Amino acid sequence: MPDAMARPEYRVRFGEPSDANALVPLINVAFRPEQVAVEGDRISADSIQTYFASGKFLVMEHGEGLAGCVYAEIRGSSGYIGLLALRPELKGRGLGRALMSRAEEYLASAGCEVADLRTISARSDLVPMYKHLGYLETGTTEMPESIALKIPCHFITMSKSLKLG
C-alpha cells in the first residue's frame, strides 16, 4: 500500500482551537458506529476545548477541508492516542495508519516510551486494526457512569512500545 503521506494532496499539521468547528463534525461522523452502544455524539464544541488544553490534535488536510485527525497527549513517559477520525469516503487508503504514525512520532519525540489507547468493546472491529498497527491488548476498564450506555460495554485498553530497535 502506498504511503498516504507521500501524496502531496494530504498534509498533516498540529490543530488549533480555531479548527474546532471542523473537527467536531468530523469526529462525530467517524464515531457514529459507537452509537449502537453509546447515546449521542462523541464530542461537542465545548468538550473539544478540554482536549486542546491537555494535548494536541494532528489534523490531516485534503483539498478544501479536513480529511482526518487524531489526538495525542503526553502523560509522563507514556502517551495517549485517541479520537482517530477520517472522513468516511477516505477510509481504506492508509490515511488512518499515517495519522497514527505521526501521533506516535510526536509522542516518541516528546520522550514517551509507550503509546496507550482505548476502544469500546462494542467496536470489536477496531481491536484487529490496532493490533495490525502493533498495539497489544493490556486489559479492560469500566465505562464512566457519565457516559450514557444503550448496551453493556467496557473499554479495551491497548499499548504499543515506541522504543526504537
Tens digit of pLDDT for each residue in 13-50? Answer: 999 999 999 999 999 999 998 888 988 888 998 899 99
Alpha-carbon torsion angle 148, 23, 139, 91, nearest 10: 110
User: Quick check: 27 and 44 in contact, CB under 8 A?
Assistant: no
Is 57:14 a contact under the CB 8 Å cutoff? yes
Cross-strand partners of 73: 80
Q: 53-80: b or e for each residue (b if 16 or more CB lie within 10 Å)?
A: eebbbbbbbbeeebbbbbbbbbeeeebb
Tell me which CATH code domain 4-161 carries: 3.40.630.30
User: Tens digit of pLDDT for each residue in 76-133?
Assistant: 999 999 999 999 988 888 999 999 999 999 999 999 999 999 999 999 889 999 999 9
pLDDT digits (tens, 9 = 90+) for 60-74: 998 778 999 999 999
Domain ranges of the chain: 4-161
pLDDT score of 8 more than 90: no
